[in-house]
Amino acid sequence: MTVSAKSSGDDKVLAVVFGLPGPRTGKTAEALQSIARIARRECVTAEVNSIDDWQAVCELDESVVVLSPFPSPEVSAHISSIGVPALVVLNSPLDAVALLVALEHSDTSAVRAVSASVSCLSRKLFQDRISIRTSNAENLDAFVMRLAAGLASDVSAFDLNRLESLITELSTLNDALDRKLPLALTGNLSSLANAVLPPADHDPDRDDGVKIDWPGSLFLLGDAPDTPMSGAVDLAGPARCVLYGPYMHLPAGAWTASVAVGLADCLGERSFTLEAVCGEVVAKGRFHCRGSGTFNTRLEFVHCHPEVPIELRLFLDAGEIYGAVTKFDVSLQSSGVNESDLVITQPMDLAG
Give 3-state DSSP helix, strand, coil % of the chain, rounded to 5.
Answer: 35, 30, 35
The pLDDT assigned to 223 comes to 96
Report the C-alpha gap between 132 and 200 in whole angstroms: 14
**Is 0.95 topped by the overall pTM?**
no
- H/E run at residue 135: helix 129-148
Q: Which residues contact 117 (CB under 8 A, 6 or more apart)?
A: 20, 21, 69, 70, 96
**Which of the listed residues 144, 171, 198 is the one where a domain comes to its end?**
171
- Extract the runs of DSSP E, i.e. beta strands, from the chain: 13-19, 43-47, 63-68, 86-89, 211-214, 220-221, 224-228, 233-234, 240-248, 253-264, 269-278, 280-290, 293-303, 310-316, 324-334, 350-351
Residues 275 and 342 both lie in one domain: yes
Considering the domain boundaries, does residue 182 fall inside one?
no
Residues 166 and 267 both lie in one domain: no
Give the distance between the most distant pair of CA atoms in the chain: 86
Residues 210 and 337 both lie in one domain: yes
Considering the domain boundaries, does residue 346 fall inside one?
yes
The pLDDT assigned to 210 comes to 85
**Which of the listed residues 127, 155, 171 is the one where a domain comes to its end?**
171
Instruction: State the CATH number of the domain containing residue 296.
Output: 2.60.120.260
Report the C-alpha gap between 75 and 304 in whole angstroms: 14
Q: Which residues contact 107 (CB under 8 A, 6 or more apart)?
A: 101, 188, 189, 192
Considering the domain boundaries, does residue 327 fall inside one?
yes
Bridge-based pairing state of the strands 280-290 and 224-228? unpaired
The pLDDT assigned to 209 comes to 77
The pLDDT assigned to 10 comes to 84
CA distances from 81 to 10, 77, 271, 299 (A): 11, 6, 49, 35
Residues 163 and 53 both lie in one domain: yes
Q: Three-state DSSP class for 227? A: strand
The pLDDT assigned to 352 comes to 34
Considering the domain boundaries, does residue 186 fall inside one?
no
Residues 269 and 210 both lie in one domain: yes
Torsion, Cα 9 14 20 26, to 10 degrees, reads -120
Considering the domain boundaries, does residue 196 fall inside one?
no
Residues 120 and 216 both lie in one domain: no
Residues 156 and 31 both lie in one domain: yes
**Cβ(72)–Cβ(49) below 8 Å:** yes
Residues 25 and 117 both lie in one domain: yes
Q: Which residues contact 64 (CB under 8 A, 6 or more apart)?
A: 12, 13, 14, 43, 44, 45, 46, 57
Q: Using one digit for the tens of pLDDT, what is the confidence trace for 240-256? A: 999 999 999 999 999 99
The pLDDT assigned to 3 comes to 55
Q: Using one digit for the tens of pLDDT, what is the confidence trace for 179-222? A: 454 556 667 888 888 889 877 655 655 556 789 999 999 999 99
Total structural domains within the chain: 2
Within the chain, which residues score under 70 in pLDDT? Answer: 1-8, 149-160, 176-186, 200-208, 336-352
Question: Residue 263 sits in which domain range?
Answer: 206-351
Considering the domain boundaries, does residue 187 fall inside one?
no
Residues 158 and 272 both lie in one domain: no
**Cβ(263)–Cβ(323) below 8 Å:** yes
Considering the domain boundaries, does residue 300 fall inside one?
yes
Residues 228 and 338 both lie in one domain: yes
DSSP state at residue 320: B
Among 110, 125, 116, 132, CA closest to 71: 116
The pLDDT assigned to 349 comes to 44
Q: Three-state DSSP class for 295? A: strand
**Cβ(325)–Cβ(233) below 8 Å:** yes
**Which of the listed residues 128, 153, 171 is the one where a domain comes to its end?**
171
Residues 162 and 223 both lie in one domain: no
Residues 19 and 126 both lie in one domain: yes
Question: DSSP string of 9-49?
Answer: TGGGEEEEEEE-SSHHHHHHHHHHHHHHHHTT--EEEEE--
Considering the domain boundaries, does residue 177 fall inside one?
no
